Amino acid sequence: MNLFVTDDLTGAATFCLERALNRALAGRERASFALSGGGTPVPIYRALARRAEVDWGRVDVYFADERCVPREHDDSNFKLVLENFLDELVGAVPAVHRMEGEDADGEAAAARYAALLPPVLDVVLLGMGPDGHTASLFPGHPLVDEGLRTVASLDDSPKPPPRRLTLTPPALAAARDVLVVAKGADKARALRQVLEGDDDPRPFPARLVRDRAWIVDAAAAGELGEGKS
């Protein structure tokens, strides 16, 4: 695990994502970048669009999860990314591959997304909820044990809205660079459990990515033991 505690979470995450994307683009014509919803990434998206030196025209944007609502709904992760990232870019824009949350048949939408997802995502940005969920993988949910599908639908998310699409553990495990961001004292208990508890992901699904890069603020790190930062 690679943990960085900072009160400039946005600056640190922007730097880290820019570096990971440019590393991927150095070796190949295109790079894939999967984005999350929630509040923590919003300033990161805005900073990435304005500040990062990335050849966005060579980037394919995917989603780590999506809420099953129309794309113009305020709960839509696509809408959040459109308004805070894509609409803020000046110049070349990435190709965007939306999860079709508006489809009444979630399983069909998940299967279509799995078919277009690259086998290895280059860069994935994740958040973590106060209960230790990440993407739309929630504590105690059977999808935490999914071993085959790379994208799945659920209709019982404890965080509203209940119907969602999400990348699964195999997709996260295959990804090249994963960055998890967490901010605020309400995440402190879960962060301690995720980074310092045992490695069973069922009660704290963010343990699936505990060995990846983490950038958190001091409030979220507030319950970590000594020597963790």
Contact 201, 212 (CB under 8 A): no
10, 12, 38, 106: which one contacts ligand 6PG (CB under 6 A)? 38
Residue 77 interacting with ligand 6PG (CB under 6 A)? yes
Spatial CB neighbours of 90, under 8 Å, sequence gap ≥ 6 = 49
Number of residues interacting with ligand 6PG: please give it, by CB under 6 A.
15
Q: How far is the CB of 53 from ligand 6PG (least distance, A)?
A: 25
Residue 57 or 140: which CB sits closer to ligand 6PG? 140
Residue 84 interacting with ligand 6PG (CB under 6 A)? no
Residue 169 interacting with ligand 6PG (CB under 6 A)? no
Angle, helices 77-84 vs 41-51, to 10°: value is 40
Exposure string (b/e) for 103-123, b if CB count within 10 Å is 16 or more? beebeebbebbeeebbeebbb
Contact 84, 39 (CB under 8 A): no
14, 36, 84, 150: which one contacts ligand 6PG (CB under 6 A)? 36
Separation CA 95–CA 32 (nearest Å): 10
**Tokens 């033991």 sit on residue:** 225
Contact 64, 124 (CB under 8 A): yes
Q: How far is the CB of 184 from ligand 6PG (least distance, A)?
A: 7
16, 20, 135, 194: which one contacts ligand 6PG (CB under 6 A)? 135
Q: Of the listed pieces 97-105, 112-120, 130-138, 214-222, which binds ligand 6PG according to CB under 6 A?
A: 130-138
Structure tokens, 164: 């969602």
Residue 205 interacting with ligand 6PG (CB under 6 A)? no
Which residues of 72-228 form beta strands (DSSP E)?
A: 95-96, 123-127, 151-154, 164-167, 177-182, 213-216
Q: Of the listed pieces 17-25, 54-62, 133-141, 221-229, which binds ligand 6PG according to CB under 6 A?
A: 133-141
Residue 127 interacting with ligand 6PG (CB under 6 A)? yes
Helix, coil or strand: residue 203: coil
Residue 132 interacting with ligand 6PG (CB under 6 A)? no
The DSSP symbol for 225 reads P
Separation in Å, CA 48 to CA 85, 109, 177: 7, 29, 17
Residue 129 interacting with ligand 6PG (CB under 6 A)? yes
Per-residue contact flags (x/-) with ligand 6PG for residues 87 to 126, judged by CB under 6 A:
----------------------------------------
37, 132, 169, 205: which one contacts ligand 6PG (CB under 6 A)? 37
**Site residues (CB under 6 A) for ligand 6PG?**
36-40, 64-65, 77, 127-129, 133-135, 159
